[in-house]
Amino acid sequence: DELFNVFGAALTSMCSKPAVEFEAQTGGVANFYVNVGGHIKKNFTVDVSELSEDASEEALMACSCATGSPFGQAAVLGVPLASIVEMADLEEGVNTVTAYGADGFGQPLPLRYALEHDAMLVYQVNGQELTSATDGSSMQLWMPETVARYFTRNSTDIELSREDAEPDVQQVDPCYRNKINIMNYADGCTFVAGDEITFEGVADDCGSPIAAIEFSFDGGRTWTACDTDGATADKWVNWQFTTSFEEKGDYRMTVRAKTADGMVSPLAATLLFEVA
């Protein structure tokens, strides 16, 4: 529900509409079966939840829209896709993996890309076990450092195939790279002169670590930069900035992020507030 509210109806994937497993008006059951087929010696079905405890992993993963500003992050529990691939007797030349949802939606990915980026079949999100009000799977495919269109909801089938050429992987539109949000509320945002004010928010770039958060209170003429040591490409940055203002008046804060590869946020975030 929360991820849908962030992303809206942009794609026919995890973010396309409220998933049936989250509909409050219906009950649901957990179904963690996935069918594995394609160019493999023998098709099989596996209950992901019954794989050994050693196979399950917890991770904090970000999810970013390719053609818009929304992005989200959640703590997930699931099984690496690699564990499923290892169970399959692949035919020679298999180079593509596609996770299909119960509605038939699927986006092909290079198999090597999915394995290198530690794709996961997830059955818990933020500590809540996914359930389904239909006969479809309750699992979701999550892809670190990859745009949201590849996050397939209600994943029922994994197809491992041999294609003439590996599929391309869609990247974030350059206009929507290096996203940043301010979490402080804009409405009724009044502070007292001389008091310390703490602003906070999040920043994420799908593919490159956030190297610094930069702040301006004069319309972008000057910037204060704060480094984000230890940031990685697969998680967003939670930032805080504390300052004070001695003079009363209306202020505008502009915030942008800078990545390790030198990209500055094309869309900065702003907050209007009053110091009384």
> In this structure, what are the phi and psi dihedrals at residue 89, rounded to the nearest 5 degrees?
-90, 90
DSSP label at 127? T
- The stretch 202-219 carries a mean pLDDT of 92
pLDDT interval class at 24 (50, 70, 90): very low
Whether residue 6 has pLDDT greater than 60 = no
Pure H helices in the chain:
2-7, 81-87, 111-116
d(CA 207, CA 211): 12
By DSSP bridging, strand 33-38 and strand 155-161 are parallel
* Two structure tokens written together for 50: 């019954």
pLDDT (0 to 100) of residue 188: 63
Share of the chain above pLDDT 70, in %: 87
- Does residue 111 carry a pLDDT above 60? yes
**What pTM did the predictor assign?**
0.78
What's the token pair of residue 158?
């994994």
Distance of alpha carbon 4 from alpha carbon 23, whole angstroms: 12
**Chain mean position to CA 260:** 19
* Cα 21 to Cα 141: distance, rounded to the nearest angstrom: 15
pLDDT at position 236 is 87
Q: Is residue 125 a contact partner of residue 140, using CB atoms and an 8 Å limit?
A: yes
Mean pLDDT, all residues of the chain: 86
| Structure tokens, 203 | 């920043």
Does pLDDT of 157 surpass 60? yes
159 forms beta bridges with 37, 98
Tell me: the pLDDT tens digits for 58-86? 998 888 888 887 788 889 999 999 999 99
Give the span between the Cα atoms of 264 and 267, in whole angstroms: 9
